[in-house]
Structure 1
Amino acid sequence: MYTTQMDAAKKGIITDQMRIVAEKEKMDAEVLRGLVAEGKVAIPANKNHSSLNPEGIGQGLRTKINVNLGVSKDCYDINLELAKAKKAIELKAEAIMDLSCYGKTQEFRRNLVEMSSAMIGTVPMYDAVGMLDKDLKDITVDEFFAVVERHAEDGVDFMTIHCGMNRATAERVKRNKRLTNIVSRGGSLLFAWMELNNQENPFYEYYDRLLDICEKYDVTLSLGDACRPGSINDSTDPAQIEELITLGELTKRAWARNVQVMIEGPGHMALNEIAANMLLEKKLCHGAPFYVLGPIVTDIAPGYDHITSAIGGAIAAANGADFLCYVTPAEHLRLPNLDDMKEGIIAARIAAHAADIAKGIAGAREWDNQMSAARADVDFPRMIELAIDPEKARMYRAESAPECEDTCTMCGKMCPMKNMKKILNGEDLSII
């Protein structure tokens, strides 16, 4: 008998979830079990999420991506958010985070868990204000934990909770001026609650109470980075590093209770800092899976932050990050729509795949080699079939029809692929 995936792994038990993940990853199940036992791989799988098709996150595995969605007071359309979730699963996102902060959040969350084969994550802090319908200052410690338990009971596989931003780190933020202060929504709410009530962060002070809930339902604890940089100016500063040290300490305490852990990271960060930050996180947090938002590598591109984050995400994952949170073109501007979401997912998947090639993940290069072979054969139907976004590739092909079917309108009869194939086959060549 076991309580969590980590508990089973430590006892030498290979669970059904481990077998499924091992098969997907082309990895020996016993090797995977060992990584789960060490905390270097997490398999978020709430006992109440019956529709889950499990995935692993961590060392030696494919880089996974997460999609954020959820209702807000300004954009309250549950049906649209469920449509986004279905599209995200269709586009092969491995995880969906429900960031709902207004209205019938539990109804939406339960529907999402019921229909989703992807992992579901939440940030209970967002829901506390909306669900309890109370001013932030007046929410009690017991009420915070009641919201966490409700999310766990509803089947959420992982929860982002900002446990590492204690009073000491809050003082560090105040002493070391940032351009963008605290940009984490959950982190800023906790900071405000602590300041308004002159109390310690309840999720830090009563951390064992949180672990009780996670262990009971096998919820993976995604240790949130309240002090993640919100601009490239603020990256790798004292507050970010102090919080990371605390997260490393909390990781060991969670593992001692057989609770799986992921560590959340930046944020906005210049290209030349990313590799060092990945190494620092893995060292300070004992090899726990690392989950990054971006990093966004320049602050000047609103409307294009799916690109700025994909650049940073590819570098981060190639240097050790295990899980990328997508960023859409609407980041910093508004709630994303379906088209924004698709752009963000494809950008994140490209970044993840590029990193998997660099990391030598089993089977990663094979996909690229198949595409290259199709190009050498001038086989456009096969190229479209292999494309990461076949719909867009098919649309572009249809929009500009070439004179010859086995070329495109860029090169026409001068197509090097077609001509090299002919010459090497000993065929005659005419480009007139």
Structure 2
Amino acid sequence: MSYNTQMDAARQGIVTGQMEAVARKEKIDVTRLMDLVARGRVVIPANKNHSSLDPCGIGEGMKTKINVNLGVSKDCCNIETELEKVRYALQLQADAIMDLSCYGKTEEFRRRLVDMSHAAIGTVPVYDAVGFYEKELEKITVDELLGVVEKHAQDGVDFMTIHAGINRATAATFKKNNRLTNIVSRGGALLFSWMELNDRENPFYEYYDDLLNICSRYDVTISLGDACRPGSLKDATDAAQVHELIVLGELTRRAWERGVQVMIEGPGHMPLNEIAANMIMEKKLCHGAPFYVLGPLVTDIAPGYDHITSAIGGAIAAASGADFLCYVTPAEHLRLPTLEDMKEGIIASRIAAHAADIAKGIAGARQWDDDMSDARRCLDWPRMFELAIDPEKARQYRAESQPEHEDTCTMCGKMCAVRNMNKVLQGSDSSC
């Protein structure tokens, strides 16, 4: 039997190599995984041309995954620097990497990225269109936009953000309902501008079937972009955001009819008390499709610390049903992130994802914490460093402040509660 996509295979009862790999990593029965993929509850982004891929599953019952954004811009156009970030992101266990390059000829960077990365690769093709064709946005044709999508698919990109939900009706809703921060999605703003300048429908909405043909041919997962995601707390859960989400639910069904895998992208900036309800709403309106969120950032006042505001929101979102977290760095809203910014963002996102996995009861998540607690009880410093989410930083902090007694730290010294309890209970606890 033959199949075009992972969803096609699952519906035919075919267990692919990618499904077997994901089932092993997730400790889930492969038959159960196949059912989830067939129903669209789990996606396995796996372009047929991405030969170096170590596939991951995103969705129901899977560990919460994290994505890292990279790429060149006009002001920071150094491919080698970005590739260094790629290597470091993979070392720090990123599950996916998105190339958000928006300047010049991006093909070299994209191809090298796909070749070197075992993580899933995503892109936003509309970012590339202006540089690829060297034309003003309004002059780019529908065929040219679809041509960029096909080019990215040929190059091995596993998932693509496509802002197909901002159709003319969504745009009208946006224009009728004043926002504090308007449209903050770069891709959404580009397509809104194209529509306004040309007085035409969004080409990715109008020619959605042509888009699905490309995705089916290469097994590209569509990540349906949220052009109207809120860029401030004030704009969260407004009419434009909800209208677009309804459209994305309709587009999800159309993709599934063609066997194309789908994720849904979500907010954005959002108050703490609205996050859980938004996760429920997305799952309901988009039929249980995996949900991919940027943050959400729970306050707007912390430039330089938005990896923290994002991790707070991300943990709540994932515990409430989100499946995929897009990392946010301390440089968000300020500049292109450095290597250190990237590390801070990845670690913060991984902490949020792991905290959510504990809350969701994901197999094996809690054991990591129990092992760390046992190492602390035994004052086993090497084991604590081994288990730390960032062993390098833990070792550095320990080395910078040496205690008088090796089995303590410089916070409590001989008054260490753990040390003293071990001594008092030594007769009944010989494991330490």
Q: TM-score when scaled to structure 1?
A: 0.98
Deviations 1:201-225 (A, max 9, x none): 0000000000000000000000000
2:309 matched to which residue of 1?
A: 308
1:381 matched to which residue of 2?
A: 382
Q: Cα offset for 1:86?
A: 0.5
1:369 matched to which residue of 2?
A: 370
- Alignment partner of 1:278 is 2:279: yes
Of the structure 1 ranges 413-422 and 62-71, higher mean CA displacement relative to structure 2 is found in 413-422
Deviations 1:382-401 (A, max 9, x none): 10110000000010000000
Q: Distance in 2 between matches of 1:412 and 1:147?
A: 62
Q: Distance in 2 between matches of 1:5 and 1:87?
A: 29
1:110 matched to which residue of 2?
A: 111
- SS at 1:32 equivalent: helix
2:42 matched to which residue of 1?
A: 41
Q: TM-score when scaled to structure 2?
A: 0.98
The within-5 A match list for 1:137-286 is: 137-286=138-287
Q: Distance in 1 between matches of 2:237 and 2:386?
A: 42
Q: Cα offset for 1:425?
A: 1.0
The within-5 A match list for 1:113-128 is: 113-128=114-129
Which amino acid counterpart does residue 324 of structure 2 have in structure 1? F
Aligned residues: 427
Q: Distance in 2 between matches of 1:397 and 1:298?
A: 33
Q: Distance in 1 between matches of 2:270 and 2:131?
A: 31
- Alignment partner of 1:74 is 2:75: yes
Which amino acid counterpart does residue 320 of structure 1 have in structure 2? G
2:51 matched to which residue of 1?
A: 50
Q: Cα offset for 1:243?
A: 0.3
Q: Cα offset for 1:104?
A: 2.7
Which amino acid counterpart does residue 276 of structure 1 have in structure 2? A
Q: Distance in 2 between matches of 1:32 and 1:76?
A: 41
Deviations 1:57-79 (A, max 9, x none): 00000000000000000000100
Q: Distance in 2 between matches of 1:103 and 1:196?
A: 23
Q: Distance in 1 between matches of 2:48 and 2:342?
A: 29
- SS at 1:86 equivalent: helix
- SS at 1:255 equivalent: helix
Which amino acid counterpart does residue 215 of structure 2 have in structure 1? C
Q: Distance in 1 between matches of 2:421 and 2:78?
A: 54
Q: Distance in 1 between matches of 2:423 and 2:44?
A: 50
1:422 matched to which residue of 2?
A: 423
Deviations 1:320-355 (A, max 9, x none): 000000000000000001000000000000000000
1:293 matched to which residue of 2?
A: 294
Q: Cα offset for 1:11?
A: 0.2
Q: Distance in 1 between matches of 2:390 and 2:427?
A: 35
For the aligned residue pairs, the C-alpha RMSD in angstroms reads 0.6
2:8 matched to which residue of 1?
A: 7
What stretches of structure 1 of length at least 5 have no aligned partner? 428-432
Q: Distance in 1 between matches of 2:131 and 2:409?
A: 53
Which amino acid counterpart does residue 197 of structure 1 have in structure 2? N
Structure 1's consecutive aligned runs of 4 or more residues displaced over 6 angstroms after TM superposition are none
- Alignment partner of 1:86 is 2:84: no
Q: Cα offset for 1:420?
A: 0.8
What stretches of structure 2 of length at least 5 have no aligned partner? none
Deviations 1:6-50 (A, max 9, x none): 000000011000000000001000000000000000000000000
- SS at 1:330 equivalent: coil
- SS at 1:130 equivalent: helix
Identity of aligned residues (%): 75
Which amino acid counterpart does residue 268 of structure 2 have in structure 1? G
Q: Cα offset for 1:421?
A: 1.0
Q: Distance in 2 between matches of 1:27 and 1:137?
A: 48
